[in-house]
Amino acid sequence: MSFNLQSSKKLFIFLGKSLFTLLEAMIFALLPKQQKNVAGEIVLITGAGSGLGRLLALQFAGRGSVLVLWDVNKEGNEETYKMAQEAGAARVHAYTCDCSQKEEVYRVADQVKKEVGDVSILINNAGIVTGKNFLDCPDELMEKSFDVNFKAHLWTYKAFLPAMIANDHGHLVCISSSAGLVGVNGLADYCASKFAAFGLAESVFVETFVQNQKGIKTTIVCPFFIKTGMFEGCTTACPSLLPILEPEYAAEKIVEAILQEKMYLYMPKFLYFLMFLKSFLPLKTALLIGDYLDIFHAMDGFLERKKKL
């Protein structure tokens, strides 16, 4: 009898809390959540020397954040450094760092802790793409994809998460991809690395939740192609549903999601619907949709970039 009462009580508490969370989600869907203040927060961005990383840096610069810029390209990173200063960043620190090298990540991370302080917002943005079919992709390029797109997340989390836990304050931002949600023709190694980054970010979030570390937030970003040059030559057959995103728009939406502490951000919104369909449609139907949207040939015109990102 006591067991049944306890079970019933647990069920009612669960149902009550579930109803509350659903109502809360509905309210925030209609009325956007208040944005948090990031003035003075130490924001580290990997891949800050160009493209999306640079735009994210400028977004945070305008909000008074202390910026820590990491990139393997010293010249591009220094250019972002100057632009961030002009945009009003409280302080800016630029470090040349090859995120594919574990020892270098740890070395530069220690330098950041000593010279700047504890990173409170970590944005893992650095990424590379080979754009080759699986059997045509050399082993060393596949390994590089994983080193930059996934393993770098492991090492930066290891380096900066302990201080976030100690302070019960921090925000982990994973720039994954729509290719981290569904397999794409011509992107096997890239998809695998982005799926891995997504899984890591989600798992670490669950760990912090279980350990009741409520001050540590997570945001996972999955955009379609962005016009940064990384996917030069790639196309979309349905720009009204799956547009190739403008970089400035993507950066604004990412920062907005961080400030509202959203867990997931898919861009464009049509991706949410596609993921819903993927969860229950028969495989043949899903393949027909992919064929209709011409997703299978989006990489056909891909032009490989000559310089590192």
| Sign of the dihedral defined by the CA atoms of residues 117, 123, 129, 133, in that order | positive
Rounded to 10 deg, the angle between the 139-146 and 188-210 helix axes is 30
The phi, psi pair for 79, rounded to 5°, reads -65, -40
C-alpha 37/C-alpha 228 separation (Å) is: 28
Most distant CA pair in the chain: distance in Å? 72
Residue 143: what are its φ and ψ, rounded to 5°? -65, -40
**Beta-carbon neighbour count of residue 55 at 10 Å?**
24
Of 55, 47, 87, 77, residue with least CA distance to 248: 55
Which DSSP letter does residue 179 get?
Answer: G
Place of tokens 């596949």: 142
- Say which of 81, 157, 190, 266 is annotated catalytic: 190
User: And the tokens for 165?
Assistant: 């836990």
**DSSP annotation of 306:** S
Residue carrying structure tokens 């109502």: 23
Catalytic-residue membership of 190: yes
* Contacts of 288 by beta carbon, 8 Å cutoff, 6+ apart: none
By annotation, the residues acting in catalysis are: 190
